[in-house]
Amino acid sequence: MTSEAEASHIRTVIVGVGNCASSLIQGVAYCREMGEDAVGVSFPNLAGFKPEDIELVAGFDVDSRKVGKSLGEAAFAEPNCTEKFYTKLSGQTAKIHRGPDLDGVSWHMLQNPADRSFRLSQEPALSKVEIVAKLKELDAEVMIIFLPVGSQKAVEFYVECALEAGVAVVNGIPVFIASHPVWAEKFRNAGVPILGDDFKAQFGATIVHRTIANLAEMRGVEIDRTYQLNVGGNTDFLNMTEQDRLAKKRESKTEAVQAVLHDRLKDTDIRIGPSDYVPWLNDRKVAYVRLEGRLFGGARTNIEIRLDVEDSPNAAAEAIVAIRLARIAKDRGMSGPIQEASAFLFKHPPEQIEDTDAHDVILNFVKGGEAPV
């Protein structure tokens, strides 16, 4: 069991040790080393919890280059290709366990070169009973899900494990759990909190797009049409070249923008989502955002933005916030979707809130205030 000295540590397991997990592993070690001097930390202190209070106690993956290794070793194992911004990971010794394949690995991923894609471990996969037992043995408090986009069955499997083990969940991908009424009720009945769904990156295409659209609405501009086209070179973009796997991703990103518009655009006037895979970009994501509209008197206007960003640290920054908020919710005995902690951090939360308001909602939640009606 957790000792009193470790009581402030947030015992966290990672499901899917890919690029986002690599950035999270690096980020936790980086914050532990740098403390208040760490660059780019959102919400440095949340009810006494700092980023360095996150303790990564296990990982679950299916790749032969990661299973059985430590988190520190796996962070830079192929096919991970994100920026190595902090390499002193000898302290990240938690083991990675072999999870089930389910729909986490699509057929087309296995047909690509090994250094760009997945290679399945020959180790036997842990069963649901074994994973639940492992979570309890580890005294895990928070599970963060970073599985490939389109992993519906795999996400549901791990969510069920978390429910049985009483572990709070942070769902970082566009499989709708926190925002799905049936799953929301399961979490309420189990007395377990969940945050989600699908991270809105620290300074990514979605938050920039929402901000520009919101500004146009606020200034009385009539928005006629818009697009957001994204390209990248990591396994996430390769995975999403199979159209069936990115349907929920496109829905999540589109709804995040539609939610800030006074009048929804017709489906033919809005197009948002991953557009192509460019291997040499590695973990860089390049987003092209265009918005067309009319000013006073119908005078035409348009704006185009090109955003170039390292994709995975952009998500890990918000993961470090979400893990701490999940622990706060768990400590308070909260259950079900934690709306107050989800709207600012996720593209597809249970309820959309305008971003500046959602920021204030988080601060009020941390202080123990009631959610706004």
Residue with tokens 């002193």: 88
The pLDDT of residue 8 is: 82
The pLDDT of residue 249 is: 96
Cα angle: 57, vertex 63, 64; to 5 degrees: 100
Which residues pair with residue 144 across a beta bridge? Answer: 14, 170
pLDDT in tens, the chain (373 residues): 443 334 589 999 999 999 999 999 999 999 999 999 999 999 999 999 999 999 999 999 999 999 999 999 999 999 999 999 999 999 999 999 999 999 999 999 999 999 999 999 999 999 999 999 999 999 999 999 999 999 999 999 999 999 999 999 999 999 999 999 999 999 999 999 999 999 999 999 999 999 999 999 999 999 999 999 999 999 999 999 999 999 999 999 999 999 999 999 999 999 999 999 999 999 999 999 999 999 999 999 999 999 999 999 999 999 999 999 999 999 999 999 999 999 999 999 999 999 999 999 999 999 997 554 4
Q: Say how far apart CA 172 and CA 168 lie, in whole Å.
A: 13
Q: Say how far apart CA 248 and CA 363 lie, in whole Å.
A: 29
| Residue type at 83 in one-letter notation | E
Q: What is the Cβ-side half-sphere exposure of residue 312, based on CA atoms within 13 angstroms?
A: 29
Contacts of 369 (CB under 8 A, 6+ apart): none
Specify the pTM: 0.95
Sequential DSSP letters for 342-356: HTTTBSS-SS---HH
Q: Which of 69, 88, 66 is nearest to 19 (CA)?
A: 66
Pairing of the two strands 142-145 and 10-15: parallel
Contacts of 250 (CB under 8 A, 6+ apart): 272, 273, 274
What separation in angstroms does the CA of 82 have from each of 85, 144, 169? 9, 19, 24
